[in-house]
Structure 1
Amino acid sequence: MNSLKDILYKVTLDAVVGSTDVLVRNIQFNSRSIAVNDVFVAIKGSLTDGHNYIDKAIEQGAIVVVCQEVPVNTKTGITYIKVDDSSRALAIMAANFYGNPSENLKLVGVTGTNGKTTVASLLYQLFKKAGYKVGLLSTVKIMVDNEVFTATHTTPDSLTINQYLKQMNDQGVEFCFMEVSSHGIHQNRTLGLKFEGGIFTNLSHDHLDYHDTFAEYRDVKKRFFDELPKSAFALINGDDKNGSIMLQNTKAKQYTYALKTYADYKAQILENQFSGLLLKLNDNEVWVRLIGTFNAYNILAIFATAELLGLEKQESLRLISELESVSGRFQFVISDQKITAIVDYAHTPDALKNVLETINDIRTKNEDVITVVGCGGDRDVTKRPKMGHIASALSTKVIFTSDNPRSEVPEAIIEAIEVGVEPQNFKKTLSIVDRKQAIKTACQLAKPNDIILIAGKGHETYQEAKGERSDFDDFKIVKAYLKQLEK
């Protein structure tokens, strides 16, 4: 049992009804999870309002309610804590409840539209190879040193984050690398955490289904850097025009990385092949197994972060040369017929453009590039024609198909994508609603040395439609179809 007073440390209280001198078992923001002697935090969400479930939480045993509006009829024996913002209160309470675990390790947050997963995951790999105990909170998975947990959100809720960080403390973890999404920042999930550093990768068109404007999306990302302490570092991509905006109000020590402009950490691409990249990182040559300009940025961010965290430079370079690509991020297989199939999570216009430009930079132009791509349902609709335009302009052939249609009609999503195709590219395109059939068709169309790109879902092992998830793994499916062609 924990003291309510201790849990409320640093929470700004507007009013208290009842006593704070009570012991509580746990904190919950979902009324269905409430047990006897719990604290219920009523959060106003975009879909539901936790204030509607206060009575239910009390019936199930909650003895403390944290809320933005105290009910008219309060119940005897229940403590009501009125706060200005329940999500902010929850984040601070969660950190207190688990003993502020972020203060007992070096936590680095990675934010940006593209590259978050790759940078966080490769930093985890790098520090593991260097012999440290390391944690990872990412879209793909959560790692508590060697123990793997399934991830459900890019940035989990604040209770879950602190719960995992506490596990990391218990396991003696020294470093943790964490993806920080705009949703997570906006919903205060990272509040109350002590960061050793923050990395900004880039900013492009995404999540405008959630954020009303691009400026709002940018400013939410900026807030993460605004909240970094003086003791932290802020590392930004100097080639991205939004990078300098991230640094405007930060108290953290400022560092930049870039390929094109002057920066603290510079990279130059000497060779770019399907087998990897030869890079010059601040006058040090290193061969890496990752591919493309976008990965040159990712590697540079990793190199810079390793140095800022105290890793010796030569050891860091040696370990960077051993890093392996992240699941669903430019993950490729080459068939016996020399057909290259690439699976990538590219689900934004900028990410798709990066991947296709990388393929076109490497190929000899004698091969076809066949792209299979769709867009997720119930998400930002404005990017759909842009995805259609980029895919058709930068590929030899395109098959538009379903991604995760969710509650939308797949055919309608595909029609919205096709709007962006320019007349001269019409003849390049096909539409096949069934994603498995679309991948099969791409394999059948491919000739020796051709390149198939399957974009949008990457590491995901499911497809979501009409409220149900079914097993679906792009990489497994394309490998199976290429194997069939070899018979």
Structure 2
Amino acid sequence: MLRSFDLKLKDILEGYPHSLNGNKDIENIDINSIVFDSRKCEEGSMFVCIVGYETDGHKYIDSALKLGVKVICHSEELEGYKDDITYIKCENTRNALAYFANRFYSFPSKNLKLIGVSGTNGKTSFCDIAHTLFENLGFKTDYIGTLGRKNTKLEGQIIRTTPEITELTKDFSDMVKNDVDYCFLEVSSHGLVLDRVSFLNFYVGVFSNLSMDHLDFHKTMEEYYQAKKKLYYMVDRFSVINIDDDYGHRLYNELTEDKKDVISFGEKEESDYKITIKELSLSKSSFTLTKGNNKYDFIINSIGKFNIYNVTPAIIIALEEGIGYEKIKEAILRYHGTNGRIERIAEDIFIDYAHTPDAMEKILKLIREVSSKKITLVFGCGGNRDHGKRPVMGSISEKYADNIILTMDNPRKEKNEDIIKDILNGIKNKDKTEIIYDRKEAINKAVRNKKDDEIVLVLGKGHETYQELGDKKIYFSDREEILNSLK
């Protein structure tokens, strides 16, 4: 987290509760980076000790000092304090890291129109659609999320849906220098709970939906909802909420009660922007948005009702920004889908990132609605993650698919046999279910055995190009395996 010039420690600490030990001459200490990974420390760094789920940053203070660090931010009492080292004690070092990172780059999100989206499903598709729409409308845009970064200087993969605050503030600072107008950011529940977006200034917030996921982390749906809710109290202008979702309806009402500016959308009559679906097919979707006496007709080159729900908040933001309907209508036609999201690889062969019960059911239901062909479904569930959703996904697969092939999907440190056993607990009729642990073999069999009256759907990885085995990430692409099977 380097910048082109140093900042005085006094300026970084200003406004944040702390106590000092050791060298207290903070007016004369220069800081050139703020880090929480001791391996990235160097002279001029401030090392912030984060108490994580697997390790504790306080254990690495000596390592940081050996690399030349003179400033330590900590939350626990230390055994000793050196006179030539500045020790900054804060109650919550994750929160402190977020504040210091924002101070370090002069709160860069204030100078962007930062659009944050949260929800279980649809975050990536919304950001990809909105980023492309506003780019097609002539604005300079950026996107940060599951698909990586879309700015030419920043483009590439990221480890988490929402990066650490030290990365985000640097990225936002670069965007400001490059005169970016809008940035679209996926905001995960983990990111909200772990202070990865604290002290950011969001111009607009978007809520997609909430369904079963991440309960290994949040424990209950209520805890999960409360984590998501935090975003919409960080918004400067307005939030766009899907009120067809039960949690979205609740969120809309609670934000309204708290005098927050909110705009609702959905098929419900009470929606500020009411959706009326006109046509759904395997090639396009058409719908009308109605606001008062105004009707707006749109066609999108994306499949499914859920993609209408993904594109609608992007359209609403554009309309509320004063952009003309005809311009939006033309710009949205130039969007041709998100990588790994109900992506057509070949005739009647699709891949999708769906890895939650809700996302899986929406896609399978969509295929059933627009096609009478049989469905062969290839999927698995991630290891060392929410066990509760596995039998639910098994039950959904049995309800909609004609043939099911269960396979591995990022087993991590868990046995494939145990994961698939959990999925099978939700499947009553196991006669139409086959187990092929090797994902390459599973895809190959589904594609090579495909009949003309059949659709093959491979779920779980979508855009991902790796398989997590143990502690390693091995290169793997559903898209490539399908294409290889067709040769």
| TM-score normalised per structure 2 | 0.94
Within 5 Å, give how 1:136-147 maps onto structure 2.
136-144=143-151
> 2: CA distance between counterparts of 1:420 and 1:306?
43
Q: Does 1:235 align with 2:230?
A: no
> 1: CA distance between counterparts of 2:186 and 2:60?
31
Query: Given the superposition, is the C-alpha separation of residues 149 and 333 from structure 1 closer, same or farther in structure 2, using an over 3 Å criterion?
Result: closer
1:331 paired residue number? 343
1:347 paired residue number? 355
1:361 paired residue number? 369
Deviation at 1:9? 2.9
1:219 paired residue number? 226
> For 1:122-158, what per-residue CA distance to the aligned partner results, in whole angstroms no more than 9, with x for missing partners?
1110111111111111101112257522222100000
2:35 paired residue number? 28
Contact 2:102 2:169 in 1 (8 A): yes
2:98 paired residue number? 91
> 2: CA distance between counterparts of 1:284 and 1:308?
13
Contact 2:200 2:234 in 1 (8 A): no
Picking from 387, 399, 406, the partner of 2:393 is 387
Contact 2:147 2:463 in 1 (8 A): yes
Deviates more, 1:203-212 or 1:54-63: 54-63
Picking from 279, 285, 297, the partner of 2:297 is 285
Provide the secondary structure at the position in 2 that maps to 1:234: strand
Contact 2:436 2:442 in 1 (8 A): yes
Q: Does 1:274 align with 2:286?
A: no
Contact 1:118 1:326 in 2 (8 A): yes
Deviates more, 1:197-206 or 1:208-217: 208-217
What is the one-letter code of the residue matched to 1:11?
Y
> 2: CA distance between counterparts of 1:209 and 1:224?
21
> 2: CA distance between counterparts of 1:252 and 1:77?
48
Within 5 Å, give how 1:40-55 maps onto structure 2.
40-55=47-62
Q: Give the superposed CA RMSD.
A: 1.5
> 2: CA distance between counterparts of 1:14 and 1:297?
48
Contact 2:21 2:81 in 1 (8 A): no
> 1: CA distance between counterparts of 2:112 and 2:197?
15
Q: Does 1:246 align with 2:251?
A: yes
2:455 paired residue number? 451
> 2: CA distance between counterparts of 1:334 and 1:31?
47
Contact 2:376 2:401 in 1 (8 A): yes
Deviation at 1:311? 2.5
What is the one-letter code of the residue matched to 1:348?
T
> 2: CA distance between counterparts of 1:16 and 1:358?
61
Q: Does 1:209 align with 2:221?
A: no
> 1: CA distance between counterparts of 2:398 and 2:444?
19
Picking from 151, 156, 167, the partner of 1:160 is 167
Provide the secondary structure at the position in 1 that maps to 2:65: helix
Contact 1:14 1:84 in 2 (8 A): no
> 1: CA distance between counterparts of 2:37 and 2:277?
49
Picking from 402, 412, 427, the partner of 2:418 is 412
1:370 paired residue number? 376
> 2: CA distance between counterparts of 1:54 and 1:350?
44
Q: Does 1:173 align with 2:177?
A: no
> 2: CA distance between counterparts of 1:168 and 1:39?
24
Deviation at 1:450? 1.2
Q: Does 1:9 align with 2:21?
A: no
> For 1:382-414, what per-residue CA distance to the aligned partner results, in whole angstroms no more than 9, with x for missing partners?
111011111111101000100011111112111
> For 1:48-92, what per-residue CA distance to the aligned partner results, in whole angstroms no more than 9, with x for missing partners?
111111222122111111111231301111111111110111111
* Structure 1: 5+ residue stretches without partners: none
Deviation at 1:479? 2.1
Deviation at 1:192? 1.3
Provide the secondary structure at the position in 2 that maps to 1:353: helix
Deviation at 1:429? 0.7
Same amino acid, percent of matched pairs: 36
Count matched residues: 473
Contact 1:239 1:261 in 2 (8 A): no
Q: Does 1:132 align with 2:139?
A: yes
1:480 paired residue number? 484
Q: Does 1:402 align with 2:414?
A: no
Deviation at 1:16? 5.0
Deviation at 1:326? 0.7
* Structure 2: 5+ residue stretches without partners: 1-5
Contact 2:466 2:477 in 1 (8 A): yes
